[in-house]
């Protein structure tokens, strides 16, 4: 979850002494990550071109709104505006409705994942060459890459996608339906699954209808098919449809709220919620653990998200600063410490 397993140091990099601290950190680091407007660090000679000579093995990872160059590179950027400008909000929300943002900062998150995977690739490259490199991750480019099949449809067929609610442009049925007590999401991804769905709703003759016998025909005649399915799903509860789907190949899922998601039997089985101790405030807090297991094992070495500046002094001590030097830096407001 956010900021777990990190140490926190606060340094004013606009000052000479602050720049010395940053350079010392860079000199002994494998990876340096920065998320500032392009050109900001160059003003203080902390950019890759000025730093690489002192540590040729350094992976200098830059994450920005539009990348290190180009007509928009100097503009600030945030998740929602970029999701709008990069096309995501243009395909999200109800049909003919107002624009809707995704429930979490998906463009931010995916940009971070691209940054992470690029860092891993650069580290592997370094094992072969002994050299570091600068990585340039653009949130705008990330958002365009996230359009996946929607992008392919436009680039190759000129199809400009629009918001479809919960439905799918090229698979029917693949969406949420109102039930007698809530909603259920149904996914019948191929003809075989549609045959099973027809059995489950009590209409085994449905696939023999020439309007619905293939997915291509179901897409073409989706309005007629969905009208009948909407009526049928509304006759039973969500639990009924989820239970009956477990005996067939199609998928049915409830739309859970956050509490229901974390109380899901699989979430409990995977032990994804971890309790960590915040030493500064002396409290336990819960965080979401890593979703990946290695050889069947959880990394399970979690530390609490730090308070801002929690480790400033210990990191400076690791860099060789004396207690007196640290006091001077504090007095000059070049560093801040939470302890």
Across the beta sheet with 133-138, the strand order is: 31-34, 59-64, 133-138
* Rg of the chain on CA atoms, in Å: 26
CA pair distance 31, 293, nearest whole angstrom:
24
CA pair distance 252, 258, nearest whole angstrom:
18
The torsion of the CA quartet 122, 38, 23, 61, rounded to 10 degrees, works out to -20
Helix (H) or strand (E) holding 253: strand 251-254
Helix (H) or strand (E) holding 109: helix 106-129
Q: How far apart are the first and last CA of the chain?
A: 24
**DSSP sequence for 169-231:** SS-SSEEEEE-SSSEEEEE--SHHHHHHHHHHTT-TTGGGSTTTSSHHHHHHTHHHHHHHHHH
CA pair distance 204, 305, nearest whole angstrom:
54
Beta bridge partners of 277: 284
Q: Which of 108, 191, 271, 282 is catalytic?
A: 108
**DSSP sequence for 68-103:** SSSTTTTS---HHHHHHHTTSGGG-SSTT------S
Is 108 catalytic? The answer is yes
Q: Which residues are catalytic?
A: 108
């Amino acid at each position: 979850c956010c900021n777990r397993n990190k140490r926190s140091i606060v340094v004013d990099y606009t000052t000479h002494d602050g720049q010395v601290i940053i350079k010392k950190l860079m000199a002994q680091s494998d990876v340096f990550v920065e998320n500032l407007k392009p050109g900001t660090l160059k003003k203080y000679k902390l950019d890759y071109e000025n730093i690489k000579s002192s540590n040729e093995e350094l992976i200098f990872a830059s994450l920005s709104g539009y990348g290190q160059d180009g007509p928009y590179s100097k503009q600030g950027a945030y998740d929602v505006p970029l999701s709008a400008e990069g096309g995501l909000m243009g395909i999200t929300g109800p049909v003919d409705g107002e624009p809707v943002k995704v429930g979490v900062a998906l463009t931010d998150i995916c940009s971070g994942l691209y940054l992470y995977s690029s860092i891993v690739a650069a580290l592997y490259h370094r094992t072969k060459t002994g050299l570091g490199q600068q990585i340039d991750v653009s949130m705008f480019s990330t958002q365009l890459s996230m359009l996946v099949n929607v992008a392919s449809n436009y680039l190759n067929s000129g199809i400009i996608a629009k918001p479809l609610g919960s439905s799918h442009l090229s698979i029917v049925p693949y969406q949420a339906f109102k039930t007698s007590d809530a909603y259920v999401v149904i996914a019948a991804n191929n003809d075989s699954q549609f045959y099973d769905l027809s059995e489950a709703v009590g209409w085994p003759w449905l696939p023999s209808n020439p309007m619905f016998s293939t997915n291509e025909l179901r897409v073409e005649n989706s309005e007629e098919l969905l009208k009948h399915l909407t009526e049928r799903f509304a006759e039973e509860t969500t639990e009924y449809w989820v239970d009956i789907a477990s005996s067939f190949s199609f998928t049915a899922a409830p739309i859970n709220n956050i509490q229901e998601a974390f109380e899901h039997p699989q979430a409990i089985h995977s032990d994804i919620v971890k309790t960590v101790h915040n030493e500064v405030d002396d409290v336990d807090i819960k965080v979401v653990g890593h979703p990946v297991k290695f050889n069947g094992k959880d990394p399970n070495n979690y530390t609490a998200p730090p308070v801002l500046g929690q480790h400033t002094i210990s990191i400076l001590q690791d860099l060789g600063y004396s207690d007196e030097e640290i006091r001077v830096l504090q007095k000059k407001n070049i560093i801040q410490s939470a302890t």
